[in-house]
């Protein structure tokens, strides 16, 4: 088949981004990629279906792309990822604008599917079952840092979450395959380990491995300059992992721990294994034993039956934990989850009010944390120049890409993107720190 011009749209989380990068590497073997969607002969949309809002975004992107078939260059529209994995049965009949559907484990079939679309001129439902994850070559879409998806699926079965029904059981990527995938990425300042639950890595492998085993092996790669951890569940943060933070210079002193709430009653309804007091003790231990560690977390406001007392317990936790950063989300009622059928669903207006309160409290914490850093000096990786404020910006070790703030700094000399600079912190505004290059 002739070479086609292909545009790819990736939606959703960083794990989806990794899937897209694997697919891009496959597509490049036979076709040409373009960033200009209007000129693409084939458009592939890698979708998210975690929440209703994500599904709406995916559908909007699909319908918008489908319009390009009317007098435009577009010949074929292909949908991949979570949305078809969960809903292909009903979508196939409804979204006739889509020529092919592929699931979360079908990316390596993309060339075969494209050939079949042109040979048979028939629509295809190619969604298969979630299968073992493999480490493969990728076409990076990030600059200087890269994500490494070390597992897929989830066995935790939180009552608000659709992931186990979309992505299946927890499946660690083979140990050696991950090392090879990371090696093939080329030089990366920061390798960011992601999965639905990174802390469970390797428990399903034969022989069994641990997250620390993986970190140590990745640290031996000369092309990997630093390693960042996201999505470590609190009950699986071991003494061994804490020691690794203390003694491994490549392991960035940053950890994302999704806690979701602090009321013991709500945590139990969520099918979470911890308690508010236990979470607070863990945070205090991490701060005590790992010098300067930046801890991030996420929380849900308005879970069914959440009382003012439950919510106040969460607000009190935010004040006491003094997390470096946190994300907050309104509970989304997802059909197919256990929480969907719970009595005591919270009004949307109440959820919105509580969400604003949480952000307000965390903003105070961020300001307090930032003030404590004034006068201190940190290595900052330059990422660009803000033309509105006429100031450079970048990330220090306590800033993960996309989800945390920046360090904005003045420099008397030109700054090179991707280089590290010593910056003395002089102030804080919102979620950003300000400083001067020294």
The pLDDT of residue 210 is 98
**pLDDT tens-digit series, residues 199-216:** 999 999 999 999 999 999
Give 374-437's CATH code, choosing from 3.90.700.10, 3.20.20.70, 2.170.150.20, 2.40.50.140: 2.40.50.140
CATH number for the domain whose boundaries are 5-125: 3.40.50.12160
Evaluate if residue 133 carries a pLDDT over 80.
Answer: no
Evaluate if residue 135 carries a pLDDT over 70.
Answer: no
What size, in residues, is the chain?
438
Question: CA-to-CA distance for 168 and 151, rounded, in angstroms?
Answer: 11
Evaluate if residue 1 carries a pLDDT over 90.
Answer: no
**pLDDT tens-digit series, residues 23-46:** 999 999 999 999 999 999 999 999
The pLDDT of residue 88 is 87
Could you tell me the fold of the domain covering 145-369?
Answer: pyruvate-formate lyase- activating enzyme (3.80.30)
On the CB side of 109, CA atoms within 13 Å amount to 19
| 3 state SS of 208 | coil
**pLDDT tens-digit series, residues 344-377:** 999 999 999 999 999 999 999 999 999 999 999 9
The pLDDT of residue 90 is 87
Could you tell me the CA-to-CA distances from 427 to 209, 230, 376, 390, 434 in Å, in that order?
Answer: 43, 27, 11, 16, 5
Angle between helices 110-120 and 14-27 (to 10 degrees): 60
Percent of the residues in the chain that have a pLDDT greater than 70, as a whole number: 100
Domain ranges of the chain: 5-125, 145-369, 374-437
Evaluate if residue 132 carries a pLDDT over 90.
Answer: no
The pLDDT of residue 129 is 87
What's the predicted TM-score (pTM) here? 0.94
């Amino acid at each position: 088949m002739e070479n086609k011009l292909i545009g790819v749209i990736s939606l959703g989380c960083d794990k989806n981004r990794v899937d897209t990068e694997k697919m891009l590497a496959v597509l490049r073997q036979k076709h040409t990629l373009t960033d200009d969607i209007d000129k693409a002969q084939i458009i592939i949309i890698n979708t998210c279906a975690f929440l209703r809002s994500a599904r709406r975004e995916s559908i909007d992107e699909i319908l918008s792309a489908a319009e390009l078939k009317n007098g435009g260059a577009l010949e074929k529209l292909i949908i991949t990822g979570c949305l078809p994995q969960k809903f292909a049965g009903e979508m196939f009949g409804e979204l006739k604008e889509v020529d092919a559907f592929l699931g979360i484990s079908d990316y390596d079939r993309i060339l075969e599917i494209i050939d079949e679309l042109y040979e048979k001129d028939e629509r295809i439902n190619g969604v298969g079952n979630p299968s073992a994850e493999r480490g493969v070559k990728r076409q990076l879409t990030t600059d200087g840092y890269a994500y490494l998806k070390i597992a897929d699926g989830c066995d935790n079965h939180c009552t608000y979450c659709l992931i186990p029904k979309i992505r299946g059981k927890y499946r660690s990527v083979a140990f050696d395959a991950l090392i090879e995938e990371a090696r093939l990425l080329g030089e990366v300042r920061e390798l960011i380990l992601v999965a639905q639950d990174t802390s469970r890595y390797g428990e399903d492998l034969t022989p069994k491995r641990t997250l620390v085993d993986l970190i140590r092996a990745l640290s031996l790669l000369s092309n990997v300059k630093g390693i960042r951890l996201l999505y470590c569940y609190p009950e699986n943060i071991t003494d061994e992992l804490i020691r690794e933070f203390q003694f491994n210079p490549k392991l960035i002193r940053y950890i994302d721990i999704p806690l979701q709430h602090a009321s013991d009653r709500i945590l139990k309804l969520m099918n979470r294994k911890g308690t508010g007091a236990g979470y607070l003790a863990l945070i205090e231990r991490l701060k005590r034993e790992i010098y300067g560690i930046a801890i991030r977390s996420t929380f849900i406001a308005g879970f069914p039956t959440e009382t003012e007392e439950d919510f106040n317990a969460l607000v009190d936790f935010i004040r006491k934990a003094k997390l470096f950063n946190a994300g907050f989300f309104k509970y989304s009622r997802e059909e197919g989850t256990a929480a969907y059928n719970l009595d005591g669903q919270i009004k949307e207006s109440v959820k919105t009010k509580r969400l604003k309160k949480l952000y307000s409290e965390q903003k105070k914490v961020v300001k307090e944390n930032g003030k404590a850093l004034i006068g201190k000096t940190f290595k900052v990786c330059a990422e660009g120049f803000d033309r509105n404020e006429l100031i450079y910006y970048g990330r220090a070790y306590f800033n993960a890409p996309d989800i945390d703030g920046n360090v904005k700094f003045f420099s008397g000399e030109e700054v090179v993107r991707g280089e590290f600079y010593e910056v003395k912190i002089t102030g804080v505004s919102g979620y950003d720190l300000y400083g001067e290059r020294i």
